[in-house]
Amino acid sequence: MGFLTDVKTLITGVSNVYIGSMPSTPDNAVAIYASGGYPRDLSGTEVEEPTFQVKVRNTSYATGETLCDTIKDLLHGQHDKTIGTGGTARKILLIQQQGDVLNLGRDENNRQMWSINFRAYYRRP
Mean pLDDT check: name the lowest of 11-25, 31-45, 100-114. Answer: 31-45
- Confidence check: pLDDT of 77 > 60: yes
Whole-model pTM over 0.75: yes
How confident is the model over 21-54, as pLDDT tens digits? 999 999 999 999 999 998 876 656 678 899 999 9
Q: Report the chain's C-alpha Rg in angstroms.
A: 15
State the DSSP code for 8.
H
pLDDT of residue 38: 85
**Which strand (E) or helix (H) includes residue 4?**
helix 3-10
pLDDT of residue 89: 84
Range of the structural domain that residue 96 is part of: 3-123
Q: How many domains does the chain have?
A: 1
pLDDT of residue 43: 58
CATH number at residue 25: 3.30.2000.10
Strands 90-106 and 17-19: unpaired
